Amino acid sequence: MLASWQVFNLLAISILLMWNLQARAISSPKPTTKYWVFFTDKGTKCDSDQARLSRIAQAQLSQRAITRRLKVRSPENLIDFTDLPVCADYVAQVRALGLSPIVISKWLNAISVRATDAQIRQLAALPFVHQIQPVAVFRDKSDSLQAYDLTKPRIDSPGAQNHQLDYGPSYTQNAVINVPKVHDAGVDGSGVLVAMLDTGFRYQQHEAFQKLNVVAEYDFIHQDEVTANQTNQDVSAQDSHGTATLSVIGGFMPGQLIGVAYGASFLLAKTEIYESELRIEEDNWVAGIEWAEELGADVVSSSLGYAYFDNGFSYSFDDLDGKTAVTTIAANLAVSKGVVVVNAVGNNDSKWHHNIWTPADGFDVIAVGAISADSLLAPFSCKGPTADGRIKPEVVALGVNVFAATPHYYSAKAKYAYFNGTSLSCPAVAGVCALILSAHPELTPQQVREALLNTASRATNPDSVGGYGWGVVDAYEAVTYFGEPQKKTVEVKDWKLYPPYPNPFIVSRDFYTTIEFDVNDDTAVAIKIYNILGQPVANLLKRTFLRGRKIAIWTGVDNNGRPVASGVYFCRLQIDGHHQTKRIVLFR
């Protein structure tokens, strides 16, 4: 299917842009309605101009992203139209109308803005504007995660735990999909970069995240690098949803909670607004997945979905065809660039009668449903098929009584709670995808999908309408589908600092330089940047890590956030009183 996507990238966007403006009834929107504004082209006047833009686009990609793309593309096809920057002149003319772009999407060749009736008419008259449509949102008066007090008795018993790790109350959610056997084989997600798109993440002080490797995080709501709640910006529940989903895949606290891919590294994108109602907006999601792909994400986990327009309209069932909704198109494009995209299939809602949400309808998106511990489909789990008859969800995992971390929102004392929702089954399956790639990093998204589906409980007879798809995931069978994994161990003598890349690091072109290193179990690690005089410039990290390949980044600033001058710098990794150093050359 990948070959068809190389042709489909432009076709999908063209189909989207053919939506009829009047059919979307935007003649009398609220003054604060948010819209997508799609452009006709990217302003390239000649082949040389496009070649220049292609060089700019490739320079924005991390080396991880380039390496990952090369799994699914030839070097000459590494960059395509969707990677070219949006025409700056078009954006400037939109600004001249008094509009401030909220999200600028290269992939969609579009921007999102808030506009009045008069401004919409002015936008529609611009010769380079192809289409305008409202930004889709989802509103829910209740939290999409249902939390249960820890004092309540569990319905499902953890049973025997004859494994190397003590999973505590999280054993059932791992055992249902056969994760402990993978961990026993030494595969924990090390070397894989997972992006989480959610409401926010309060991980710094929680015991389950003390060994979590967060490579980068960004708040697409407030445009800063803080994804936890901020005073005077967020309501108390803002980061609860994301904290819980992150813990299912990346938490590590023996005796309490073991995440499915606890050894992976993470990118955290805060994209959704939690006000008095959960407000999920598709433009931030698009911005988040573009950001994650450029940074080199291998897997995206999204426990989010999009259905309604802000002015009361919604996607129709016919739109659930894998190529219409903007988040679906963005998800498909991410897969075509080598990213495994996993999305919750959605929870049933009285307003939304078409069942699955976007972008779960995407062609190569792995949509995840929810079951209970006895393998019965959860009553809230959405069912397919899609408008064009494809099976959704692809697979299911535990989504009832899932043990997860809470940032002290649901209880003033509890650090953990039990939750229901496809929001919890989604990161579990994303974690299994990370385990597959940890054991077999050469696999493409299509091969990961093949391993996952062909080893699930209903692989020989997929369920097209009952909500199970190919069935319950079997992590061990999926990880070994392309061969037995080699047990991974990193001895103390093997801890290592690798050469940073890119190097030289050109700040005007590169976002950052990446620093990779190997560590042993429960190892205290410190990484610092020094100048040529041996003076400390930046403290990149200081924390304890689990064994495996880890990642840090340096953006070329000092401890006060000020840009450093061009020159030679040294990155120093210190472990257990020993250190290794690598040279970095920075240009501005």
Mark whether 572 and 442 lie in a shared domain: no
What CATH number does residue 525 fall under?
2.60.40.2550
Is 578 part of any domain? yes
Given 453, 479, 505, which residue is the final one in a domain? Answer: 479
Whether the per-residue pLDDT at 570 is higher than 90: the answer is: yes
Whole-structure pTM value: 0.84
Angle formed at CA 245 by CA 303 and CA 193, multiple of 5 degrees: 85
Instruction: Please enumerate in sequence order all residues whose Cβ is within 8 A of that of 220, keeping only pairs 6 or more positions apart, or say none.
Output: 103, 269, 270, 271, 284, 287, 288, 291
- C-alpha span between 306 and 216 (Å, rounded): 25
- C-alpha span between 87 and 564 (Å, rounded): 31
Mark whether 555 and 438 lie in a shared domain: no
Of 76-80, 338-342, 491-495, 529-533, the poorest mean pLDDT is in 491-495
Of 24-33, 111-120, 325-334, 412-421, the poorest mean pLDDT is in 24-33
Given 479, 506, 540, which residue is the final one in a domain? Answer: 479
Report pLDDT for 550: 87
Closest alpha carbon to 159 in 144, 149, 146, 174: 174
| Mean of all residue pLDDT scores within the chain | 84
Given 479, 511, 530, which residue is the final one in a domain? Answer: 479
Question: Hunting for tokens 């290193």 — which residue is that?
Answer: 517
Is 192 part of any domain? yes
Is 14 part of any domain? no
Report pLDDT for 158: 46
Most confidently predicted of 26-30, 410-414, 548-552: 548-552
Mark whether 514 and 421 lie in a shared domain: no
What CATH number does residue 248 fall under?
3.40.50.200
pLDDT tens digits for 278-308? 556 789 999 999 999 999 999 999 988 776 6
pLDDT tens digits for 143-154? 445 554 444 434
Distances (CA, A) of 154 to 149, 167, 169, 170, 238: 10, 16, 10, 12, 27
* Token representation of residue 4: 């068809």
- C-alpha span between 427 and 429 (Å, rounded): 5
Question: Hunting for tokens 């709501």 — which residue is that?
Answer: 221
Of 55-64, 130-139, 483-492, 563-572, the poorest mean pLDDT is in 483-492
Is 19 part of any domain? no
Looking at the chain, the whole-number percentage of residues with pLDDT higher than 90 is: 53
Mark whether 413 and 443 lie in a shared domain: yes
Neighbours of 236 (CB within 10 A): 11
Coil/strand/helix, residue 256: coil
Mark whether 305 and 234 lie in a shared domain: yes
Whether the per-residue pLDDT at 197 is higher than 70: the answer is: yes
- C-alpha span between 543 and 325 (Å, rounded): 41
Mark whether 444 and 526 lie in a shared domain: no
* Token representation of residue 281: 């907006």
Mark whether 552 and 410 lie in a shared domain: no
Confidence class for position 487, pLDDT limits 50, 70, 90: low
φ/ψ of residue 66, rounded to 5:
-65, -45
Mark whether 361 and 387 lie in a shared domain: yes
Is 52 part of any domain? no
Mark whether 470 and 507 lie in a shared domain: no
**Structural domains of the chain, count:** 2
φ/ψ of residue 545, rounded to 5:
-120, 155
Whether the per-residue pLDDT at 412 is higher than 60: the answer is: no
Is 16 part of any domain? no
Mean pLDDT of 246-266: 95
* Token representation of residue 290: 């573009």
* Token representation of residue 45: 């006047």
Is 122 part of any domain? no
Distances (CA, A) of 585 to 67, 517, 569: 22, 19, 6
C-beta separation of 275 from 200 below 8 A = no
Mean pLDDT of 207-224: 90
Confidence class for position 139, pLDDT limits 50, 70, 90: low
Is 116 part of any domain? no
- 16: enclosing H helix or E strand: helix 2-17
Whether the per-residue pLDDT at 4 is higher than 60: the answer is: no
Report pLDDT for 520: 77
Distances (CA, A) of 303 to 36, 205, 235, 258, 347: 23, 23, 20, 19, 10
Question: Hunting for tokens 């054991």 — which residue is that?
Answer: 439
Mean pLDDT of 433-453: 97
Report pLDDT for 409: 57
Mark whether 465 and 503 lie in a shared domain: no
Coil/strand/helix, residue 117: helix
Mark whether 310 and 182 lie in a shared domain: yes
User: How many residues are recorded in the chain?
Assistant: 588
Mark whether 471 and 539 lie in a shared domain: no
Strands 536-545 and 402-405 come out as unpaired
End-to-end CA distance of the chain: 42
Checking phi first, is residue 541 left (phi over 0); if not, alpha (psi -120 to 50) or beta?
beta
Parent domain of 527: 493-587
Of 241-250, 265-274, 449-458, the poorest mean pLDDT is in 265-274
